[in-house]
Amino acid sequence: MVQSIEAVAANNQIHSEAAQQLIDSARKKLLNEREQRIRPGRDEKILTSWNALMIKDMARAGQIFERGEWIDSAVQAMDFIHDRLWQDSCLLATFKDGKAHLNAYLDDHAFLLDSLLTLLQARFRQADLDFAITLADTLLTRFEDETSDGFFFTSHDEILIHRPKTGHDGAIPAGNGIASIALQHLGYLVGEPRYLESAKRTLDIFSDVLSHQASSHCSILVALEEFLEPTRTVLLSGDEAELQTWLKALVPCSLNMISIALPHELSGLPDGLKKRSAPDGKISAQVCEGRRCLPEIHSLNELLQVCRVHGRMALP
């Protein structure tokens, strides 16, 4: 039971200052004795996959709770991975003592791609979008089974007797599930059919196991839901200061929605993100579900009304 210094002093019939001195002295003696022991080992390596999971959650939480420092930490972690663990167009799995090594696995690539898509919503940076596209291409090139579909856990560089394709979730989500989700989100966002087709092929090879063991394949189920009813995507374009107001207003609707703000000054974007027209410097919003899009919206109230509607959009 915790007691205040005053209570301890009263119980021992001494002054508070004397009680504090005795406690400080005892702590010092305990620490000196403890320093004689061998310190326990500590795992200090930095893992790409685990950092990717944390980046996604910090970016998402920072956006919801309006904590810019949380988003800053996600950006900083992403920059570290890009600068230190992305070498010669190859992602590495771990970093320790100034050295990155080991070819990254499916989980590293899939989780990092997924975290980039979340980070783009919290704070759009064109470098992150370019990195996401590069990672998606790497997934297809180095991990996809071109014969039987789906993604191997290890890259084609690994010469192994057996190369599994993880579909069931454990302590962390399955790489095939997260890859399929992220590829669909990015595919619709930038208008790249290769990503969408790869995700569909992955779902096809797990269709049988889903009918028998669906509860242990939750990430694949989410990917299937995405395939059947694509996530609503809102692309905002306009003045950067005003964009933040609109993004903030969309947060209560954002649980099952992707919203990205694109400042006017950006250039060189993929076709799916080309600038929309905004009359008289106003904000332009494009709302889509998969390949189905509504006419551009220039009123925040109208946009909020559309985003609050659950289920499929009714096109005019």
Per domain, the residue ranges of the chain are: 46-228, 233-307
Write out pLDDT tens, residues 272-315: 776 555 566 688 999 999 989 999 999 999 999 988 875 555 55
* pLDDT beyond 60 at 133: yes
In whole angstroms, give the CA distance from residue 150 to residue 142.
12
Distance CA(288)–CA(189), nearest Å, equals 9
> What architecture does CATH give domain 46-228?
Alpha/alpha barrel (1.50)
- Dihedral pair phi/psi, residue 97, rounded to 5°: 55, 40
Give pLDDT tens digits for 31-59. Answer: 999 999 998 888 889 999 999 999 999 99
DSSP 29: H
Specify which of 50-54, 145-149, 155-159 reaches the highest per-range mean pLDDT. 50-54
Q: Please give the pLDDT value at position 192.
A: 94
Instruction: Give the pLDDT of residue 277.
Output: 57
Count other Cβ atoms within 10 Å, centred on residue 227.
Answer: 17
Q: How confident is the model at residue 273, as a pLDDT?
A: 77
Lowest mean pLDDT among 87-91, 107-111, 212-216, 280-284: 280-284
What is the pLDDT at residue 314? 53
Residue 316 has pLDDT above 60, yes or no: no
What's the rounded mean pLDDT across residues 151-165? 91
pLDDT at 155: 93
The DSSP annotation for 137-182 comes to HHHHHHTB-TTT-SB-SS-TT---S------S-SSS--HHHHHHHH
* Encoded tokens for 84: 């230190």
Which has the closest alpha carbon to 248: 72, 127, 123, 119?
123
Q: What pLDDT is recorded for position 279?
A: 60
pLDDT at position 8 is 85
Residue the block writes with tokens 């989780």: 111
Please give the average per-residue pLDDT across 58-62, as a whole number. Answer: 97
Banded pLDDT at 127 (limits 50, 70, 90): very high
pLDDT digits (tens, 9 = 90+) for 188-226: 999 999 999 999 999 999 999 999 899 999 999 999 999
Q: Is the pTM of this model over 0.75?
A: yes
* CA distances (Å), origin 36, targets 31, 33, 39, 43, 135: 9, 6, 9, 21, 48
Q: What is the pLDDT of residue 312?
A: 56
Helices assigned H by DSSP within the chain: 5-11, 16-34, 48-64, 68-80, 106-122, 126-142, 175-190, 193-205, 207-213, 218-228, 240-250, 300-307
At 268 the pLDDT is: 76
